[in-house]
Amino acid sequence: MTGSQPYYQNYSSPQAMRPQGGPPAKKRSAWPWVILLLVLFGLAALIIWAVRTGNEQLAAEQEAAAYGEPYIAVLYAEGTMTVSEDSLFEGYSHQYLLDTIAELAADEWNRGLLLYIDSPGGEVIAASELGESLAQYKAQTGRPLYAYGYSYAASGGYWIAAPADQIYLNRYCVTGSIGVTYGTMIDISGLLERYGITTSTITSGAQKSMGSSFEPMSEETRAIFQSIIDEYYGYFLDWVCEQRGMTRETLQPLADGRIYTASQAVANGLADAVGTEEDCLAALQQEIGEDCAVYDYYPTVEEESLFTLLRYLTGSTESRELESLLSLLPPSGVLAYYDGSY
């Protein structure tokens, strides 16, 4: 047709598909996201309820079973030791262990305690507090305390084993590593300089930024850190000497941070026997001299918050990968710690 646009072009034009003055395009609804969020909240709440219900049932069963009959408590100290409850999912709960030891000491039906250790250590303050609590249990009750090392009873793990009347180790257990570390401090100032990056830190004193990764460590800073490590190391030595009945002259050559096999630890007086958990329990039963029930006590995750569960459920793959990479970095802070490289 002359003087007009072909029909198919007119049909496919925006005006033909959406006539002028027609209804506006629909906006995307936010309801699917609201529903997804509600589902996640509901799922997290369900997990917490299920875990808490199971824990309450377990506690009730333990209380009912232990009431009115002699029993031995097996208390589990597993994972990296820290006073923070962020490590609950890894199996270690500092406050739970302290509270349980106090409850066992107050229970007249408790006849003894077996401490099951599978830990490379952790924060000095956590090891010290738990060790003191165990020593107090012995002094207050006069009941036997035995320790059993499974795969690791090293550094802080050995710290908490020291108060035991007898230390049994699995033949493949790594123990010893008596010492303290600040972890590895990384200096990236040379890398920044290479790429023309400069940093400025404003502090109130020359040592306020000590340990910063953005500047080389001075000899004065190194001496300050070393003085702290030496002091805490001295506490560690004194503790082991007191609990194991050893002298500094005997212990110090053994306590240069090295690790020991179970048989080496026994030969050097750091442990008493190589055996299984059943061997350790049988020896404890024999010392008690009466037939006792045996009940396990281990931390639970009931205290874990809804927020933490939601953060995990909604976390991106990238953030989880970053957390995994960060977990591979050396530990930081004052630690009695062994992880295969210290």
DSSP 22-42: -PPPPPPPSHHHHHHHHHHHH
Is 27 noted as a catalytic residue in this protein?
A: no
- Give residue 10's pLDDT: 45
Q: Specify the pLDDT at position 62.
A: 53
Q: Are 104 and 144 in contact (CB under 8 A)?
A: no
User: Would you place residue 29 in the very low, low, confident or very high pLDDT band (cuts 50, 70, 90)?
Assistant: low
Averaged pLDDT, 180-197: 77
**Strand locations in 166-297 (E):** 166-169, 174-176, 181-183, 259-260, 273-274, 293-297
Mean pLDDT for the chain overall: 79
Condensed to tens digits (0 to 9), the pLDDT of residues 268-292 reads 999 999 999 999 999 999 999 989 9
Torsion of CA 261, 262, 264, 268, to 10 degrees: 130
How far apart (Å, rounded) are the C-alpha atoms in residues 215 and 196? 14
Q: Tell me how far CA of residue 104 lies from CA of 67, 108, 113, 114, 295, in angstroms.
A: 12, 8, 8, 12, 11
Listed in sequence order, the residues at least 6 apart from 228 whose beta carbon sits closer than 8 Å to its beta carbon are 182, 334
Give the helix ranges, DSSP H, for 29-90: 31-66
Q: Percent of the chain scored above 70 by pLDDT?
A: 68
Residue 88 — pLDDT band, cuts 50, 70, 90?
low
Closest by CA to 211, choosing from 187, 244, 242, 180, is: 187
pLDDT digits (tens, 9 = 90+) for 190-201: 777 777 777 777
- The reply to whether 155 belongs to the active site is yes
Beta strands in the chain (DSSP E): 71-78, 110-119, 121-123, 145-154, 166-169, 174-176, 181-183, 259-260, 273-274, 293-297, 332-337
Output the pLDDT for position 124: 95
First and final CA of the chain: distance in angstroms? 89
Which one of 119, 133, 155, 177 is the catalytic residue?
A: 155
In this structure, which amino acid lies at residue 182?
Y
Q: Which is the catalytic residue, given 13, 208, 263, 305?
A: 208
Helices (H), 142-218: 156-161, 189-194
Q: Is 50 exceeded by the pLDDT of residue 5? A: no
**What is the average pLDDT across 44-72?**
62
pLDDT score, position 106:
97
Superfamily of domain 43-183+218-308+324-337: 2-enoyl-CoA Hydratase; Chain A, domain 1 (3.90.226.10)
Please tell me the distance from the alpha carbon of residue 295 to that of residue 95, in angstroms, as a whole number: 19
What pTM, to 2 d.p., does this model score? 0.73
Q: What band does 109 get if pLDDT is binned at 50, 70 and 90?
A: very high
Q: Which residue has the higher pLDDT, 337 or 177?
A: 177
> What integer is the mean pLDDT of 254-275?
97
Give φ, ψ of 45 to 5 degrees. Answer: -60, -40
Give me 285's structure tokens. 């039963």
Tell me the percentage of the chain whose pLDDT exceeds 90. Answer: 49
Q: What is the pLDDT of residues 115-156, one digit of tens each?
A: 999 999 999 999 999 999 999 999 999 999 999 999 999 999
pLDDT of the residue at 51:
55
In the prediction, which pLDDT does 182 show? 81
Give the mean pLDDT of 257-267: 97
Over range 197-214, report the average pLDDT: 74
Looking up tokens 């890894």 gives: 90
